[in-house]
């Protein structure tokens, strides 16, 4: 059950970050939003409306968020899927071939123990890697807008989708 929840919550997550861009002049505030999700390649998230049309075309090209955390997210989801498939296969093996599992001299219990131990170690490593990457994702989304011409233009975070389910 944990593996189902793990790849369902992480693999199906979508969120957005909103930044407030303040320009000098009378009409000085605009909010821009970038959507992101699994596999958390933040460096491919583009702000809408485009920043190239704001503040007298201060930005020559679209600005992206900073960071690519896809490797840890995909590793975590991959281990969760692998654990789910193994648990289904093991359940089928227990139900269909229990007589082979219990017979004297069978190496199936030892093999089952070895694979379960390997999956437990992979789960620990993947969870630790994803926890560290999620910490970096939160830090990257809470940071000011990269490449913001700070003397004339103000860029500040205005809101981020809650990531408690992750």
pLDDT for 141 beyond 70: yes
List of long-range contacts for 6-9, beta carbons under 8 Å, 24+ apart: 6/76, 6/77, 6/80, 7/77, 7/80, 7/81, 7/84, 9/165, 9/166
CB 142, CB 12: distance < 8 Å: no
Q: Indicate the number of domains in the chain.
A: 1
pLDDT for 146 beyond 90: no
Q: Hey, what are 17's tokens? A: 């970050």
pLDDT for 40 beyond 90: yes
CB 137, CB 162: distance < 8 Å: no
Burial of 64 (0-12, 13-18, 19+ CB in 10 A): middle
pLDDT of residue 50: 81
In a domain, residue 166? The reply is no
Average pLDDT over residues 149-160: 78
Burial of 158 (0-12, 13-18, 19+ CB in 10 A): middle
Query: Which residue reads 């560290």 in tokens?
Result: 132
Average pLDDT over residues 96-114: 87
In a domain, residue 30? The reply is yes
> What domain range is 127 assigned to?
2-160
According to the per-residue pLDDT averaged within each range, which of 30-39, 73-82, 147-156 is highest? 73-82
pLDDT for 1 beyond 70: yes
d(CA 93, CA 104): 17
pLDDT of residue 149: 66
In a domain, residue 165? The reply is no
Phi, psi of 22 (to 5 degrees): -110, 125
Q: Which residue has the higher pLDDT, 30 or 42?
A: 42
CB 94, CB 10: distance < 8 Å: no
| Ranges 4-18, 21-35, 37-51, 139-153: which has the least confidence | 139-153
| Ranges 6-20, 60-74, 76-90, 137-151: which has the least confidence | 137-151
In a domain, residue 31? The reply is yes
In a domain, residue 50? The reply is yes
| Ranges 41-45, 69-73, 122-126, 153-157: which has the least confidence | 153-157
| Paired residues of 17 in beta bridges | 34, 160
């Amino acid at each position: 059950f944990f593996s189902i929840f793990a790849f369902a919550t992480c693999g199906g997550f979508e969120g957005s970050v909103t930044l407030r861009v303040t320009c000098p002049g009378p009409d000085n505030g605009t909010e821009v939003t970038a959507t992101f999700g699994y596999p958390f390649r933040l460096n491919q998230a583009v702000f809408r409306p485009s920043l190239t049309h704001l503040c007298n075309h201060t930005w020559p090209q679209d600005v992206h968020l900073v960071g690519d955390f896809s490797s840890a997210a995909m590793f975590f989801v991959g281990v969760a899927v692998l654990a789910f498939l193994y648990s289904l296969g093991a359940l089928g093996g227990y139900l269909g071939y229990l007589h082979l599992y219990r017979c004297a001299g069978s190496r199936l219990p030892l093999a089952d123990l070895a694979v379960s131990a390997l999956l437990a170690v992979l789960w620990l490593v993947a969870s630790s890697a994803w926890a560290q990457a999620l910490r970096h994702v939160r830090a990257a989304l809470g940071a000011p807008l990269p490449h913001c011409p700070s003397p004339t233009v103000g860029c500040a975070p205005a809101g981020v989708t809650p990531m408690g389910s992750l």
